[in-house]
Amino acid sequence: MKMEDDMLESVLWMAHEIQARVAELGRAISNDFDGRSFVVLGVATGAFMFVADLVRHISLPLQVDFVRVQSYGNNTKTSGVATIGTDCKIDLKDKHVIVVEDIIDTGITLAKLVNHLESKGATSVSVCVLLDKVFRRVVPLKLSGSGKCYVGFECPDYFVVGYGMDFAERFRSLPCIGVLKPEVYQQ
Ligand code: 5GP
Ligand code: MG
Ligand code: MG
């Protein structure tokens, strides 16, 4: 039990539920990408835990790298503008890329990133998101050619933390995903 658990109003997914779903996603990717050379590209910082768990369930050789995408806004809302902060160091030309992201909300971050990766000459760009806030989408996720989309869970319209996801850089190390008590935002 972590002390930060006390600051959750509710738990949406417990650690064992997340682990079971991540294992399924890993198996699906293992089936789809068999025989291909591919890169798992995490979006830092939120996806660090998801990437670490997911790759252990992919039974194929792969490369891992991270990018940073800045979205200027306050702590619980995106601003509508995303820019690539730190780019990956692996050359993605002629590689299959699977972008691993904690959550897709408006879709602005992933649209920007997919576009960027395609312009770097990736053979295909796929996306694996743990959570999808389907009803909040502003920009549709468009994947060209053989790009695939994997989703862990549909997420209700709450600001969630844990399993890599933060509020003001806190709560990332929680093994579950939950909603914060309102007083935490007022601190
Ligand atoms: P989008 O560009 O799709 O609107 O937002 C994507 C980014 O906003 C996510 O990668 C994530 O960093 C952040 N985000 C969106 N919803 C949540 C949420 O409920 N909790 C946390 N911690 N971050 C979120
Ligand atoms: Mg993110
Ligand atoms: Mg954040």
Sorted by where each begins, the domain ranges of the chain are 15-155
Per the annotation, the verdict on 105 as an active-site residue is yes
Region for residue 6 given its phi and psi (left: phi exceeds 0; alpha: psi -120 to 50; beta: otherwise): alpha
The predicted complex's ipTM stands at 0.97
Q: Name the residue among 119, 117, 122, 123 with its Cα closest to residue 101.
A: 117
pTM value surpassing 0.80: yes
For 13-65, the pLDDT digits (tens) are 999 999 999 999 999 999 999 999 899 999 999 999 999 999 999 999 999 99
CATH 3.40.50.720 fits 15-155, yes or no: no
For 88-142, the pLDDT digits (tens) are 899 999 999 999 999 999 999 999 999 999 999 999 999 999 999 999 999 999 9
Q: Name the residue among 182, 142, 152, 165 with its Cα closest to residue 20.
A: 152
Q: How far is the CA of 74 from the centre of ligand 3 (A)?
A: 9
Protein residue whose Cα sits closest to atom 12 of ligand 1: 46
Using the atom order of ligand 1, give the atom closest to the CA of residue 166.
22
Q: How far is the CA of 37 from the centre of ligand 3 (A)?
A: 30
**In Å, how far from its chain's centre is CA 144?**
19
Residues lying with their CB under 5 A of ligand 3, a single-atom ion: 166
